[in-house]
Structure 1
Amino acid sequence: MPTDEFEFIDASGLEALLLGDQRFALFDARDEGLFAKSHMLFACSLSLADLEARLFRLVPWQRTLIVLTSDEGDGMAARAARRCLGLGYTNLRLLRGGNQAWQRHGKSLFKGIHVPSKAFGELVEAHYHTPMIEAAELHGLMASGAKVRIFDCRPPNEFHRMSLPTARNCPGADLLSRVPAMVDHDETIVINCAGRTRGILGAQSLISAGVRNRVVALKNGTMGWHLAGFPLESGRSDLVEPVDPARLDGIRRMAANLRERFDIAVVDMSAWLSRAEGEPANRPLLLDVRGPWEYQAGHLPGSRSAPGGQLLQATDYYVAVRNTPLLLADDDGIRASITAAWLLQMGLRDVSVLDHRDIFSHMTESGTACWLPARLIPLVDTVDAPQLARDLEGGTTLVLDLGSSDDYYKGHIPRSRFVMRSRLAHSVPALPRLPCVTLVADDAVTGAFAAREITELYGAPVRLLQGGRQAWREAGLPMQTGLEDAVDPPEDMWHIPSSPLGGLDSAMRDYLSWEIDLAAQVAREPGTRYLVGDRPPASPRTPEAPTPANAAGSRN
């Protein structure tokens, strides 16, 4: 596939960018399943599957330098560049030789996803000596009736999938503002996640803030509990409720101490509002670290939902533009402060928090934001679930499922075919010919862009199922499980080890070993800036800059 319409950057130029202060994004354009097998440490996964739906959220300013990579010779980076160009992004570079050129440059490729964040968790544990409790010891304490309280710091959907007996759900950023008020002084607080990172950060957050109870992280989380032979529960929802604000004075003092220790600036609301109206290149990225349900109920214009615990666990999913200033928002001054303290120790240089007082009066937007301008979204016909059921019965439509392979495996529309958007050009022409095609997509934006592609490839009308797979289920229509009707392999995503597609017990053991070994592996990579436990240096507040001449590369 020709790439001469784009400029290149070589591995040495990319290394210079990683060591510098310029704002830029580095994206790997392959599907996440392939990305998870081997990728550059600071590359963010942005696959062709949902590029249009995610790009504007990740890169708000269209003149930001974007470097695209993939495997050498696969053409994915060039395809992604064309899509970026079609959305108005013009400052694009392709990494010459792709990921393999980075290896030839003497650098490493990494397995897994969210590697910088997970390596950070291991560094935190090593630096602070975060206390751990083994599954067998915790099980014994629970059986003996000891005063132990377990808090699962994952998002509610993960808690619902599997949880420890008696555990309550308190997402990571909420731990400090909720847990201390719920426990007696002599109770042991146990924080768990699925593996290691979030449990370590959650427990250490309470310890570093000054909570006086004994606080420990469950070693290896729910996976360690399961591998030790103890049962997990599923289907539970037990979210810890917010504490009365009148009872938070002591916790707010703890948060203030963290801000002082790490030199975290508090930005006045009027100062933010004036900056929000200025040049986009000079604005910080405004991240709302509250729960997604709180964000949907009401949020500040221009803010992006990034729940604090997940922001630390998967920083590269929420923050793709390196060296961009971050402004964290919440409604209590606690969640943003503790999240900012960890991000600074992770090596992000410019992180501040928004003054939370009177913040609700400025939350004039609600719902889930769509960052892509509506004028760029192709028009597509739609069909409702009952009509699609009749069309399937009559044999007049081919149904293609563009959702995740994990969701497809768990339940999909009978006779629908799982396809990966990155492989449409290969898979669609070989499919049976029917009068029309119906797409099932996780979001309407991705569905609309895929419909345009498939119309050209299939040569028949293409429409989108309103409400996707959920609308079909809510209509009381039958579902089918498994991958028997899948056209493409389930390489669209990284499958969690505890899932059937992830490998179960053997994969859990491999995952935990991989996570423990990360800290040593990342230390030699350019761009690593971990400052665990240290007061960060003064934050450079550099505006967006043009690409330096030695990093710009060439067209040949």
Structure 2
Amino acid sequence: MSIKTQDYAFIRNKLLNKEEIALLDVREEDPHAQEHPLFAANLPLSRIEVDALSKLPKKDVPIVTLDDGEGDAQLAAQRLSDLGYSNVAVFGGGVKAWKAAGGEVFKDVNVPSKSFGELVESKRHTPSLSAQEVKKLLDDEADVVVVDVRRFDEYQTMSIPTGISVPGAELVLRVPELAPNPKTRVIVNCAGRTRSIIGTQSLINAGIPNQVNALRNGTIGWTLAGQELDKGQSRKFSEVSTLTANEAAQRARSVADRAGVKRATTADIQKWQSQKDRTTYFFDTRTPEEYEAGHLPGFRSVPGGQLVQETEMVAPVRGARIVLCDPSGVRANMPASWLAQMAWDVYVLDGVNMSDLTETGPWQPPLPSIPSSKAVDAKTASTWLKNDSGTVFVDVSTHAQYAKGHIPGSWFALRSQFLNALKKLPKADRYVLTSTTGELATFAANEIQALTAAEVVVLSGGNKAWVDAGLELEKGSTRLASPPLDRYKRPYEGTSVDPAAMQAYLDWEFGLVEQLGKDGTHHFWVL
């Protein structure tokens, strides 16, 4: 089957007209982060089967795959066509052709959200304090509360002294009880800039009576000022009273109404879940723990702060409809107010009762039918590991998952780079493929078998089945047959980042508003 090609004018037209388009950069995350168009969502070739059905729910949505001439775009387009997508094209000439046509390219990840955050600050002059000013307030034991709006795992890695974990969408609900005295100053921080700007402005937009400031440049700014961060903290927000929750709901609803957020009913949801001519995403924006305790069927767990920060990771179809659900209202209305300003067609589901939340447990991504392949159970595989020197274990999980824990002696290899990985892997009579829960290995097995004369066998249930069988994993970034291109090293993560890289990142963020102006396809506006 021949795949058609599309050009810069086609994509730009779709974006300018607010029509549905999925521009998918199918390279691994690191090359994607080096340069890509503003609304090119990263959906690596190696993960298409496990991610496509949840991220691209409508089979005839216009999809254009993009690489930089490596050939991944053609392979990805074919793979998507095989999954039943009927309107797939390749962007002719890759990123080089995009630039040659006059298209703006952006560095880093989650660029639509980060550039929007910078636009908000430039328009609203969001108040901020330097790291030195915040440290002096803390040293003087001033009446301040520091709230960290990142994910809890990011907060635990490093945090501002005294900081409390309050992920972004929770702020308007939780801050009134963390700082009940209106004279208490609230300091909002993240790792860099975006989430602290959005968090600070959320509290201001919602009319919280306290003085609110962003910590300018977040933990990066703190580190560049030569100040010590805490590590391994576990301070979290607590539950709030009914009175506080009701007041927060009114504040959040008011902000959403001012931003033009639309309202949806359960009847709308039933209609949209079966609608064929429109892409709709259904997100539950509460904490993962609340979601697992009970949620609406068909809704995916995406905490609201991260949704605003990483929208294209879960909603790569620009121009799609997004529906948010939170029975309390606050964690849906506040993120919805931001998504509306980012020019999404966004709705909040009203009238949800706790008794409607009939599904429990974590979100399960929809998967295509699993191809047949040779398989082995964990117990048998463990005897091969001990007794058969001709068997080599290869893990095609993400590098982050591999480093967190892998089968002893196994090698890390990227599915998209497997031909090159074979040159580094030990010669084997048999390769046992594994991944975190096994699906990715199963989808990769047949194409990998075509690359080698050795037998290729999949570990049933992957590394999870290995652990469930009582077998040990080892940790660390050992035995890499592929470079870890699937993860871009963010200059704001971890505690051992070069200060020059941190400063370069801040300089890049400051330049985003100018880049937005050059790009001109975003339709962003600021309340």
Kept after mapping to 2: 8 A contact 1:32/1:493: yes
SS at match of 1:461: strand
TM-score normalised by the chain length of structure 1: 0.88
Question: Is the contact made by 1:328 and 1:336 (CA closer than 8 Å) also made in structure 2?
Answer: yes
Q: TM-score, normalised by structure 2?
A: 0.93
Q: Does 1:468 align with 2:463?
A: yes
Q: Which residue of the partner structure matches residue 96 of structure 1?
A: 92
Q: Which residue of 1 aligns with 2:386?
A: 393
Code of the aligned partner of 2:438: A
The one of 424, 431, 454 aligned to 2:448:
454
Judge conservation of contact 1:495–1:501 (CA < 8 Å) in 2: no
Deviation at 1:199, TM superposition (A): 0.7
Find out whether 1:106 has 2:99 as its counterpart. Answer: no
Q: Encode CA deviations 1:388-422: one digit per residue, 9 max, x unaligned.
A: 55433323421212233344456544432221111
Alignment of 1:19-34 (within 5 A): 19-34=16-31
Question: For residue 283 of structure 2, what is the aligned residue in structure 1?
Answer: 287
Query: In structure 2, how many angstroms separate the alpha carbons of the residues matched to 1:509 and 1:358?
Result: 47
Report the equivalent of 1:14.
11
Task: For 2:469 and 2:213, locate their aligned partners in 1 and report how far apart those are by CA, in whole Å.
Answer: 42
> Shift in Å at residue 338 of structure 1?
0.9
User: Are 2:227 and 1:233 equivalent residues in the alignment?
Assistant: no
For residue 58 of structure 1, what is the amino acid of its counterpart? K
Q: Are the counterparts in 1 of residues 126 and 201 from structure 2 also a CA contact under 8 Å?
A: yes
2:421 to 424, 427, 432: 427
Aligned residue for 2:106, secondary structure, equals coil
Q: Distance in 1 between matches of 2:404 and 2:357?
A: 41
User: Structure 1 unaligned runs (5+)?
Assistant: 534-556
What does residue 37 of structure 2 align with? Answer: 40
Partner amino acid for 2:124? Y
d(CA) in 1 for partners of 2:416 and 2:279? 33
Within-5 A mapping of 1:141-540: 141-183=137-179, 184-276=181-273, 278-282=274-278, 284-348=280-344, 350-373=345-368, 375-378=369-372, 381-384=375-378, 388-394=381-387, 395-409=389-403, 412-428=406-422, 431-458=425-452, 459-464=454-459, 466=461, 468=463, 472=467, 475=470, 477=472, 479-483=474-478, 485-498=479-492, 503-533=497-527
Residue 80 (structure 2) aligned to one of 81, 84, 89:
84
CA distance in 1, matches of 2:337, 2:217: 24
Is the contact made by 1:289 and 1:330 (CA closer than 8 Å) also made in structure 2?
A: yes
Counterpart for residue 59 of structure 1: 56
Instruction: Report the alpha carbon displacement of residue 101 of structure 1 after superposing the two structures with TM.
Output: 0.9
1:490 positional shift = 2.0
CA distance in structure 1 between the aligned counterparts of 2:376 and 2:347, rounded to whole angstroms: 44
Aligned residues: CA RMSD:
2.4
Instruction: Return the offset for 1:299.
Output: 1.9
Alpha-carbon offset, residue 147 of structure 1: 1.0
In structure 2, what is the Cα distance between the partners aligned to 1:504 and 1:476?
Answer: 38
Gaps in structure 2 of 5+ consecutive residues:
none
The alpha-carbon deviation at position 137 of structure 1 amounts to: 1.2
What is the CA-CA distance between 1:167 and the residue it aligns to? 1.1
Distance 1:393 1:179, change over 3 A: same
1:417 alignment partner AA: W
Question: 3-state DSSP class of the match of 1:179?
Answer: helix
Give 1:118's match in structure 2, choosing from 92, 99, 114.
114
> How far apart, in 2, do the equivalents of 1:234 and 1:335 lie?
28
Taking only the aligned residue pairs, the percentage that are identical comes to 34
Q: Report the CA distance between 1:266 and its aligned residue.
A: 2.0
Paired with 2:82 and 2:223, the residues of 1 have a C-alpha distance of 47
Alpha carbons 1:7, 1:94 under 8 Å: kept? yes
C-alpha separation in 2, matches of 1:149 and 1:16: 47
Q: 1:5 to 1:274 in 2, by over 3 A?
A: closer
Given residue 369 of structure 1, which amino acid in structure 2 is its aligned partner? Q
Count of matched residue pairs? 524
Larger relative CO (CA 8 A, sep 6+): 1 or 2?
Answer: 1
Q: Secondary structure at the match of 1:50?
A: helix
